[in-house]
Structure 1
């Protein structure tokens, strides 16, 4: 499962103005028109407010479509003419305010047209962003690769909905491989780098028998991507990415292979409690040429049946409260699992961490946040 921002302000407004699936956006301007007309008729001649009816198309412009706004502009003009003409001559407001209501209706209709065009453009851009997000963070079928899995992704920029965090599961001939990472920086450049790494992972994880070879392919891909970006004259060719690469071999159900590229190691959450997997002591992807070996070591870690591996990005580990304290991830997970062993289920675990992170930082995410949990299906008690 994934958690992303809802549709923009226009979409939220439209949802609020619907009852049983039907739009009631016409109701507020209609009530305002009736209220102004009623008050005008029930007050003395010295207190005429019928010219306030110019507010009606203005309100409609903010919440209705162009056609309905134009209709309210016409209705307001006709109502003004009839209401003002119903009074004795000495109490009539007259032609100046009639012109004011007409011009106000015209301007409101034009403003509504601009607003609708902007909302359509915004929705179109959000559709494009959603397509990009689904390309980078593709939907994963239940039980994909023999793993029970769940994921939550929260973009720090609620309107962008996509950033440099990435994750995937790739089953293959030599087992199932899992990748989670975080590209340094933000913006479309980070998304582009994440997409490049995921493309390489999906091919190498399927074909390569050795997990270290997959890791080497990822390192080379990150360097090549940087060279390509630099050749284009861009200034973000020095990006790097922290990542965790896991392997679940087909011939060993009681171990997991791990290569950690400068990332927080996963948490193993299961019947034996909560513990960190050993750190990889490696540099992030793209920086391997700075050391002699170039790659972090591959570690084979024993894994008890029913153990869930919890992987997170900086949005969780660097979340701070008002006092500047980091979110105590391991302690919170250990406390929850001790109270209820089923809290280690991937779906419940990512929901627990998501809610805990948002509660700890007061909903103000400083970085994109990904919570990803995987567990062998054939190891589930």
Structure 2
């Protein structure tokens, strides 16, 4: 039993490292200091009335509990309601000329109770939204798992941001596998939006995790991905969905027996960029069909082998990055930004630094407003071997499958 408890404790601690839990404010939705806003409003109205203004303080004070209901917890809102009713009774006693009638007093009590009810309903709605967000976050971590440092024997860094901030999950996906044959990587984008796209992304990543670990031949992995999405589409059509989903994706493998070599299968995706001492160049573009459409072209894309230097970082992105637009409608100049980074870091740039630099530039370009899901994955071979790679113009691509 003690061993089980220690194992559970270690597991929970790891989860907190990669997915820290958000703190829920005790008194208010927006923080402990949210009461300052209605309190400031109360003081201003009360002081204006005491300075001899002709306004009816009783009527204006009704704003205080209503304002509190929008930012404070039900208990704090009720306290403001009681305070407002008490102040109105004090004004009635201390200033008989205020001419506060019984109808005014009943209106104040009604407003305080109404504000309390609004705060209760808002708090319940907020709790329900948080529950949905937690469920979406759990779904996101299934499709987009956190990557421990050095996982699979390579350096890696990943980031995902859904266009729908509240949903927190979309159709983009990525993963890094540690396999007996070396690290294997996937990044892709499912056609469409919403839950159907998320479901399709889950089918592709699930097949990749299974086949990518057990199959030595990357071509077999590619065919397993194709078959998995085909079966998923058949299942969805049995439920009445008419749209057949497909996914553009890139699969990379870092074979153990061939250092400084990357195997690439590109399912209709933009070629990943390589950034390092040789500058910036691209891996093969996706000449094949996306996942789910292989039968239209007679098979899955070929496997190509490319030499990549030990200090070169491969950057994979979805079209949420390459098609990110500024307010003026200009696309994000990814290649130009990578050229600048390569010039600033002639000895190479680590995946985490490359990812952060690109993400910062994209956010500045779009004013942090994304119209599509954004996924980035940067990987680099984790080795101390300084052996140089050939120039990209001299790379020879080998087709190992059709």
TM-score, length basis structure 1: 0.90
- Deviations 1:286-336, CA, capped at 9 Å, x for gaps: 0000012x1111100011121111100001111233444322212210112
Q: Is the 8 A contact 1:255 1:303 kept in 2?
A: yes
Distance change in 2, residues 1:205/1:379 (3 Å) = farther
Deviations 1:270-295 (A, max 9, x none): 11111011224100000000012x11
Aligned to 1:185: 192
What SS does the aligned partner of 1:85 have? Answer: helix
Q: Report 1:109-120 matches (<5 A).
A: 109-120=116-127
Residues 14 and 283 (structure 1), Cα distance of their counterparts in 2 relative to 1, 3 Å cut: farther
Partner of 1:150: 157
Aligned to 1:127: 134
Q: 1:39 aligns with which of 24, 48, 51?
A: 48
Please report the RMSD computed on the Cα atoms of aligned residues, expressed in angstroms. 2.3
What aligned pairs does 1:1-381 form with structure 2 within 5 A after superposition?
A: 17=31, 23-43=32-52, 46-88=54-96, 90-236=97-243, 238-292=244-298, 294-341=299-346, 344-379=349-384
- Offset of residue 99 of structure 1: 1.7
Superposition misfits of 4+ residues, deviation over 6 angstroms = none
1:306 touches 1:379 (CA, 8 Å); kept in 2? no
In structure 2, the gaps of 5 or more residues are: 1-17, 387-402
- Looking at structure 2, the residues matched to 74 and 323 of structure 1 have their Cα atoms a distance apart, in angstroms, of 52
On the 8 A contact 1:51/1:98 being kept in 2, the answer is no
Q: Name the CA shift for 1:144/1:162 in 2 (closer, same or farther; >3 Å).
A: same
Rounded to whole Å, the distance in 2 between the matches of 1:377 and 1:113 is 54
CA distance in 2, matches of 1:68, 1:16: 13
Greater Cα offset, 302-311 or 31-40: 31-40
Segments of 5+ residues of structure 1 without an aligned counterpart are 18-22
Larger displacement relative to structure 2 (64-73 or 317-326): 317-326
Contact 1:267 1:274 in 2 (8 A): yes
| Kept after mapping to 2: 8 A contact 1:77/1:102 | yes
Counting matched residue pairs gives 366
Q: Secondary structure at the match of 2:61?
A: helix
1:182 match: secondary structure? strand
CA distance in 2, matches of 1:239, 1:333: 32
For 2:42 and 2:364, the matched residues in 1 are separated by 44
Aligned position for 2:15: none
